[in-house]
Chains A and B, each alone.
Chain A
Amino acid sequence: MTRSWWKSPLALVLTAAMLFPVYWMVNVSFTRRASIRKSQLLPFDFTTEHYQVVLSQQLPYLGTSMVVGLGTVLLTLVIAAPAAYGLAKLPVPGGRVLSFALIVGQMIPAVVMSLGFYAIYNRIGMLDTIPGLILADSTIAVPFAVMLFTAFMRGIPNELIEAATLDGATHWRTFTSVVLPISRNSAITVALFAFLWAWSDFLFASTLDREGGSMRPVTMGIYNYIGAQNQEWGPMMATAVVASVPTALLLILAQKYVAAGVTAGAVKD
């Protein structure tokens, strides 16, 4: 700890460099329209009007995005974690085919996926519903989640699982009480990306939830500022800022929680 005093300042510099485009966006979000293309380093033509517009219009969309994101995380974890355990540690017949199917699955163009969903949802009346959107969004994350979980779970020492098995635990019990706790890190990683993908999805939302009114995610809400020939970049950038603050806090809290959880797990009894 004492020898790495230089790390914090360096990390600050690196983070600042990484977030410079984000700063630029914040900068624009506080600039009056007449000056947004002047490319000034600070918002000299300062205004908060974009935020007033956004706060009065975008909050319902943000709520929907949050629900859709968390729903997607849940669904993804429930489907992917057991499957990955099976693929990584159990003799799954045709497991290799399944692995290829996952790679292929990720390469199917999203357009084709969305057309398929539209046709199905139109028949069963699931267009413009939040569960429908969660289901569709999960298809972005599930193949990724299975592949990532599998890669991580392969690294779990077999002795651990054998020990549990010898003690008479069922496969399910071994999975829930031994494998899942060790996989917390990868579960958080998966959850993170599932959330972020659902959060940023536009294609499924615009195809499957276009008439959802205020029950549409924020990626659709932002389209309120895009006209046929006129885009309002100030409110769009402000929306991006407003949308990213709660999620950034969520991320930081999640990181802290994981760090704490891992520490607790490492304490010997």
Chain B
Amino acid sequence: MGTMSPRSAAGIGMVVAAGFVLAACSGGSTPEPGSTGAASEGTTTSAITFWDPYPQREAGSDWDKLVASCAPAGSTLTRSSAPQTDLFNQLTTAVKEGNAPDVVLLDNPMMPEAASSGLLATAEQAGIDTTGIDANLIGPGVVDGVAYGVPMGSNALGLYYNKDVLTAAGVDPTSIKDWASLNAAIEKVVATGAKGITFSGIAGEEGVFQFEPWFWGAGADLSDVGSAAAISAGQLVSDWIGKGWAPRSAATDNQSASWDLFLTGEYGFAENGSWFASAAADNKTFAAGMIAIPAKDSAVAPVPTGGEFAVAPLQSKDASNHYANAAAVIACLTGDAHGNATSEALGYLSAKAGVRATQVADNPLWTPWVDIVQGAQGRTTDLGADYVNASAALSEAIQGALNAAGDSSGVESAFKDASGS
């Protein structure tokens, strides 16, 4: 490669200069989102955009129809979907470019970061009614004392079981009152030749979500991932892998994959969410039941609250009108009149005690879930935007613990390394 000719150097210079010009142009004209505007000062517009994380609820589904029906008179609502993390990133870009939708449904642990990054209008600004919501469920949407949205309902985690497998093993699910009795039950199941338990230990928030009932059930706290209690929870799931009670693929299975394993009928137990409650009730190949996830020394561990918040993204132009759109649509979806329809379309429990009571009366499927939802904890309620770091550390620890396959020194160092202690 000899030395670079002057001409080449000039060429590079030109390319770089042109790039800067381009960058400068676009930098200058980026509209800045503002904090002005209020729903009460605006009027609804003819076109409303609505984003949700439910790509699987295609056009024509109950949910799609419900959302469309919530467009105010004279407005057309366009709904589009993307998986949660993608949706959050797309929202970030859209707000930056002044092209944000009117309404977004955002996963609850993302709320603190979204709010503190200046992506969201406050509930007050956007005319969103947050009264009557259970305190534990609204918690993730309140950042520094300000509410930014309203939960679309709540889902929770439970311990599903295969009645046929348990009967064959002589296990009574109501006898499971703590970790020791759970382990004894799994051992009996495995002794019959069946498999033990499926759960999702995948890297990231999803695996952390599934681990938190065991983590909190051991008495551990998110502010100390390396505590002895945390390690004992890690040891519990790690032992399941080590003893062959849980599939080794748990470290890469997401909740859907873990459910598919349970559906094979080969497993006694499955930790999974209330979103599968109706699928479990309709299951034809075996009868499925559900109990609360036990804590280390008691029958019901706190589970993390699950579900999305309806929010209004911050707008840079015609903000008041956009907020008026958001106010109308969100009020329709979460207000008492439609609350039950929304919950049923999403497969969630209502976030309001009153609506929830009607929902359970109409559909007894939800009865065992009520206590779990009422005892659930918001993931971000204590730590706020710092939750992402705790969750990342916990995710590293879980991966390490699952790979250790029961080896207690491996589990311990996984948690110690992850917490940085």
User: Which residues of A are in contact with B by a Cβ distance under 8 Å?
Assistant: 33-38, 57, 93-94, 96-98, 101, 115, 118-120, 122-123, 127, 206-207, 210-211, 213, 223-233
Contact = CB atoms under 8 A, between A and B. Distances in A.
24 contacts: A34-B283, A37-B263, A96-B8, A97-B8, A97-B15, A115-B93, A118-B97, A119-B30, A122-B99, A123-B26, A123-B29, A206-B82, A206-B90, A210-B90, A213-B80, A224-B56, A226-B55, A227-B54, A228-B54, A228-B107, A229-B255, A229-B273, A230-B259, A233-B260
Contact of B58 (A57, A101, A211): A57
B203 to A, nearest CB: 16
Given A207-B90, A228-B53, A97 B12 contact: yes
B55 A224 contact: yes
A62 B95 CA distance: 31
Interface string B1-23: 00000011011100100000000
Contacts of B256: 227, 229-231
A93 B10 CA distance: 11
Contacts of A213: 80
Given A97-B12, A118-B93, A227-B55, A211 B273 contact: no
Contact of A211 (B78, B257, B276): B78
A97 B11 contact: yes
Nearest to A111: B89
Contact of B264 (A35, A122, A127): A35
B50 to A, nearest CB: 10
A227 B279 CA distance: 14
Contacts of A227: 54-57, 256
Given A227-B54, A228-B53, A34 B90 contact: no
A58 to B, nearest CB: 11
Given A228-B53, A230-B56, A37 B257 contact: yes
A232 B10 CA distance: 55
Contacts, number: 95
B35 to A, nearest CB: 22
Given A94-B11, A120-B26, A228-B107, A34 B285 contact: yes
A89 B84 CA distance: 50
Contacts of A33: 260, 263
B82 A210 contact: yes
A206 B257 CA distance: 24
B58 A224 contact: yes
A210 B80 contact: yes
A119 to B, nearest CB: 5
A223 B264 CA distance: 24
Given A33-B263, A36-B260, A229-B255, A206 B54 contact: no
| Secondary structure class of chain A's binding surface, majority of residues | helix
B49 interface: yes
Contact of A119 (B97, B206, B261): B97
Interface in B239-291: 254-257, 259-261, 263-266, 273, 275-276, 283, 285
A149 to B, nearest CB: 21
Given A122-B97, A224-B55, 5 more contacts: A33-B260, A38-B266, A210-B80, A223-B81, A224-B56
Contacts of A206: 82, 86, 90
A223 B83 contact: yes
B254 A231 contact: yes
Nearest to B283: A34
A119 B26 contact: yes
Nearest to A234: B260
A127 B90 CA distance: 13
A202 B260 CA distance: 25
A69 to B, nearest CB: 22
Given A101-B15, A122-B99, A223 B82 contact: yes
Nearest to A212: B80
Query: Which 5 A-B pairs give the minimum distances between C-beta atoms?
Result: A227-B56, A94-B11, A97-B11, A231-B256, A223-B55
Given A34-B285, A206-B82, A226 B56 contact: yes
A228 B97 contact: no
A37 B260 CA distance: 6
B36 to A, nearest CB: 21
B260 A211 contact: no
Contacts of A57: 58
A118 B26 CA distance: 11
A37 B26 contact: no
A225 B257 CA distance: 13
Contacts of B57: 227
Interface in B175-205: none
Nearest to A33: B263
Contacts of A122: 97-99
B264 A37 contact: yes
Contacts of B83: 223, 226, 228
B415 to A, nearest CB: 26
A120 B29 CA distance: 11
A37 B261 contact: yes
Name, among B12, B78, B257, B264, the residue most crowded by chain A CB atoms within 10 Å (CB to CB): B264
Contacts of B12: 97
Contacts of B26: 119-120, 123
Nearest to B273: A229
A229 B275 contact: yes
Nearest to B1: A96
A31 to B, nearest CB: 11
Contacts of B275: 228-230
Contacts of B49: 211
A36 B8 CA distance: 58
Given A223-B55, A228-B53, A211 B93 contact: no
Contacts of A93: 7, 11
